A and B are shown apart, each in its own frame.
Chain A
Amino acid sequence: MTHTTDFVIETHALTKSFGNVHALRNVDLHVPQHSIFGFLGPNGAGKTTLMKTLLGLSRPTSGSGTIFSHDIVRESVAIRERIGYLPQQPRFIEYMTARENLLFAAKFFFNGPQANIRERCDEMLELVGLSEKADRPIKGFSGGEEQRLGIALAQVNYPDLLILDEPASALDPLGRQSVLEIMERLRKHTTIFYSTHILDDVQRVSDTVAILNRGQVVASGPIESILNGKDGVVYSVSLKGAPGGLGERLGTLPWVTHTSVSQNNGASIWQVSVSDEAAAETDLLRQVLADPATIVTEFSRKKYELEEVFMEIVKGDGNGR
């Protein structure tokens, strides 16, 4: 092992241009070990370009990147030794069966013992539920079966990092479910870096997320912090009437970063962004209730859905141009 950091993938100002088209712009990325790292972005955001650049299929225009501390341009073969990759549309050698494709892929990594290589291939077929179809021609496989075989092929060499490009996007709900379950089963063995635009999947299996838009990383971090939204932790307080002086009172608190108020059917709804969650938990409600005339009808921490955050970030990024 040549790890010198806790990050499996690190990129610094990675840029890729095709003529005047900037597919990636100054991408800084840090993928922690043993994470399931969801790489989100609308179509055309640059997700596949980034993956291809990491895999050595494409060269960066500027910037740098490392995987397992190996340079992605100069040491690509050493990197690929420890990687499994599932392309957006898995490809196979058409005249081989599923088992033969697995044996072929395995032999790029291992040259023996043959019995052990075969055992590993059987194990992979079992993992993805294709044991019964192992010796059938691939031409008859459904989209879901092809995707599962693609995952088996990507995993056959015990990779330390799995790179999956839109692993579930072309699948029906059952196929998606199956792929996500396989990813969850693999998480204890490997780091998974995958791209998608299906936000439900990310919220379900990822622990770390980056959002790419127009070639730039516009948000990145643990999913909890992303779900907190760009305003950090936000509390929502519904009050009867419009109590005077609450805004000024909240404004004096050092951990309140922003307040906004809206009216709804005679009630005022306050959104209070805070920088210190613990302080807010113990003091915020007390501060609101400091005025005895105030009637609180609802007090809760605002929960964001990833879709909400994603739309906000991507639209905000677009508007800013």
Chain B
Amino acid sequence: MAANIEFHRSKELSWLRGFANLLRKENRSWWSTRRWWINALLWPGMLGGLVGLMIFVVPTIAAQTGDPAVDAAGGLLPFALQLGRMAFFEMGTMVLAIGVVVLCQDLIIEEKQSGVVEWLLTKPVARRSYVLAKLAASAGTVLVLLISLPALVTYLMLSIRLRAPFPPLPFLGGVGILSAHTLFYLTLTLMLGTLYTSRAPILGFALGLLLSGNFLSGLLKPLVFVTPWMLAKVASLVVDAQPVPASLLWSPLTASLLWSAVFIFMALAKFENTEF
């Protein structure tokens, strides 16, 4: 044994002990396996394809069939851009939320079931580091692969259709709102992973909440102000540079971010008290 090997002992802050190493591991699980390129092809391909269909193919067919919606939108180009925006910011927001729930459902429970969490927590690791590393790595990956790449593809297609750069600020505003919506479902899924040990309740609860949004907000209107259910529509309006009532923009946006913070707090509290 070469007990004379000298090392620099890790000097991380004790309340975040092990975070850097766990973050490297989490990033590696996304970026050093085939997961990254599958997602890098899937989401821009799927959402870009949907947007492409909506701005290049559907308007042409609508014009040929004399669809009155073309005239109502103010012509073929505005109609195409409207369809493109709706495809990405309304349908895409829902699709991305479903994608995040499916992709992140087993981030924690898989390691709970396999015993990896237990093994990791026998190292000098603060429990909050484990949850926060999962959150940071998956949020970063979702932002790059699921949001930024498809958004870039969408922006390019809108600009090509417009034959000029699409106004960037409204577009970025819409992407920001879409990101807040996605973050809500990411943190919710992560929190559910700390509460349950099987996939069914995680998928059931997160997807149930997502898909029942329209129905529930129809039953009880004030819900739109305290949930992310209206954000997809709001994002589309913001990108279209249409006036959005402040209460309809800021209330659901703030509520979604607050909910995300609550979910993170609950995930940390639950994981801190979990016995293995």
Binding site for B on A (CB under 8 A): 52, 55-59, 77-78, 80-81, 83, 85, 87, 89-93, 95, 104-105, 107-113, 116-117, 119-120, 123, 127, 158, 189
Contacts and interface: CB of A to CB of B under 8 A. Distances in A.
20 contacts: A52-B276, A57-B122, A57-B276, A59-B275, A77-B125, A83-B122, A85-B122, A87-B118, A87-B122, A91-B116, A91-B118, A91-B119, A92-B116, A105-B123, A108-B10, A108-B123, A111-B9, A113-B7, A120-B2, A120-B7
A80 B10 CA distance: 13
Contacts of B7: 109-110, 112-113, 116-117, 120
Contacts of B32: 95
A70 to B, nearest CB: 12
A119 B119 contact: no
Contacts of B11: 111
Nearest to B116: A91
A288 B24 CA distance: 75
B25 A57 contact: no
Interface in B124-149: 124-126
Contact of B2 (A90, A104, A123): A123
Interface residues of B, number: 33
9 smallest CB-CB distances across A and B, nearest first, come from: A110-B7, A85-B122, A108-B123, A57-B276, A91-B115, A58-B275, A112-B8, A81-B124, A91-B119
B116 A93 contact: yes
Contacts of B6: 113, 116
Contacts of A189: 1, 3
A77 B14 contact: yes
Contacts of B28: 95
A77 B124 contact: yes
Nearest to A158: B3
B5 interface: yes
Given A85-B119, A91-B115, A91-B116, 9 more contacts: A57-B118, A57-B121, A57-B275, A77-B126, A80-B124, A93-B116, A109-B9, A109-B10, A123-B1
Interface string B1-34: 1110111111100100110010011001100110
Nearest to A83: B122
Contact of B123 (A80, A89, A111, A112): A80
Main secondary structure of the interface of B (DSSP, over half): loop
B25 A58 contact: no
A91 B14 CA distance: 25
Given A85-B122, A91-B119, A111 B25 contact: no
A27 to B, nearest CB: 17
B30 to A, nearest CB: 11
Residue among B10, B33, B122 with max Cβ neighbours from chain A (10 Å): B122
B228 to A, nearest CB: 33
B114 interface: yes
A108 B119 CA distance: 12
A123 B4 CA distance: 12
B124 A58 contact: no
Contact of A110 (B10, B25, B118, B126): B10
B9 A110 contact: yes
A104 B25 contact: yes
Interface string B246-276: 0000000000000000000000000000011
A317 B126 CA distance: 40
A173 B184 CA distance: 53
Nearest to A78: B124
A91 B118 CA distance: 9
Contacts of B17: 77
Contacts of A111: 8-11
A170 to B, nearest CB: 14
B8 to A, nearest CB: 4
Residue among B7, B21, B114, B276 with max Cβ neighbours from chain A (10 Å): B7
A187 B18 CA distance: 28
Contacts of B122: 55, 57, 80, 83, 85, 87
A125 B1 CA distance: 12
Contacts of A80: 122-125
